[in-house]
Structure 1
Amino acid sequence: MSAARSGALVRSAGVRRLLQEAQELERDDCSDYAAAPLEDDIFSWHFTVRGPKSSDFEGGVYHGRLVLPSEYPFKPPEVYMLTPSGRFEINKKICLSISSFHPETWQPSWGIRTALVALMAFFESEAKGAVGSLDAPPAERRRMARSSLRFKCTTC
């Protein structure tokens, strides 16, 4: 099999997987997160996650973007936040164990939902100098949580 044909098969498998995940997430009744692909690009998704309860982020609603490689689910997504939170930089690729910064830890059985749940857990961890991470003071995080409710995405 040629490399081009092999690449096309992987891409079509990725598209099928993403369509399936989009349907599952649309039916999911969890109020902690939501995600969907952009209308014109199945490999570009926008998501919203709620700030973890009993944290400085509680009450916040944070919007972000996942950019999935054509080799998905065999390679992890790039993760970007679009809403200021005091935990992650906006419009900058974020280094997480479930992101493209660490393909060695990614598991193909994981999906968009797993990435969103993991991202919510990372909100409460320390930045420790990770790319795309911040450690804003608690009062600033709480202020940003309140102001996150006013964010309107111009793309989706």
Structure 2
Amino acid sequence: MGDLYNWEVAIFGPPNTYYEGGYFKARLKFPIDYPYSPPAFRFLTKMWHPNIYETGDVCISILHPPVDDPQSGELPSERWNPTQNVRTILLSVISLLNEPNTFSPANVDASVMYRKWKESKGKDREYTDIIRKQVLGTKVDAERDGVKVPTTLAEYCVKTKAPEPDEGSDLFYDDYYEDGEAEADSCFGDDEDDSGTEES
């Protein structure tokens, strides 16, 4: 039986970024009081990034507890709230890969290197060379795991279609109603008096 509180996930590097073609494994660890407290997100794949600690832990607002901390520089609305889910976490982490926050880095050396790259308009390639080496290194993991990593936008953004209902199935609650017949009629009775003064 699996552990519902510990998930292993993988993130594909987005196309048209330096992370394109990458296969980055990570672990999501959910607290007992989830969704009221955020999970922890840790990359298992070695990552060189301003917002990722050397341990692989990700520093991103969405994973910070929902406390009002004026010293943090984060608005409460940027922090965790119970309406967030695994999808929003993964999308935030994917977005962070290509758009790091260098104002509060988890890895200062990576942040300095990223800023040099950005300020040089790509001429200083030390940062991007490290990313490229990491991406190449992940290809071995992908092959071993039998995973085909998407490299084009069309492959990356898989379109899914909801399955059509089986006409022979009687599992749908609306099978008994025709042409938009409202269930509300039977719930509220046939009388038109809604004043609430009628005695029962």
TM tier relative to shorter chain: 0.5 to 0.7
User: 1:58 touches 1:145 (CA, 8 Å); kept in 2?
Assistant: yes
AA at the equivalent of 2:105:
A
Distance 2:132 2:91 in 1: 21
The reply on whether 1:66 has 2:28 as its aligned counterpart is yes
Aligned CA distance change for structure 1 residues 65 and 124 (closer, same or farther; 3 Å)? same
**Partner of residue 13, structure 1:** none
Q: Aligned residue for 2:17?
A: 55
Alignment-derived partner of residue 93 in structure 1:
57
What's the CA shift for 1:40? 3.5
Structure 2 stretches lacking a partner, 5+ long: 68-78, 114-126, 145-200
Identify the match of residue 103 of structure 1 among 66, 69, 74: 66
Name the SS for the 1:151 alignment partner: helix
**Identical columns (%):** 23
Q: CA deviation at 1:127?
A: 4.7
Pick the aligned partner of 1:139 from 123, 129, 132. 129
Q: Name the CA distance, whole Å, in 2 between partners of 1:132 and 1:111.
A: 26
Partners in 1 of 2:41 and 2:60 — Cα distance? 8
CA contact (8 A) 2:45 2:56 kept: no
Matched residues, number: 115
Aligned pairs for 1:1-156 (under 5 A) are 39-87=1-49, 88-89=52-53, 91-99=55-63, 101-104=64-67, 105-128=79-102, 129-131=104-106, 134-135=110-111, 137-151=127-141
Structure 1 unaligned spans of 5+: 1-38
Instruction: Name the larger-Rg structure.
Output: 2
TM-score of the two chains, using structure 1 as the length reference: 0.64
Using the TM superposition, name which of 120-129 and 109-118 deviates more. 120-129
Shift of 1:108: 1.0
Q: CA deviation at 1:132?
A: 5.7
Report the TM-score when normalising by structure 2: 0.51
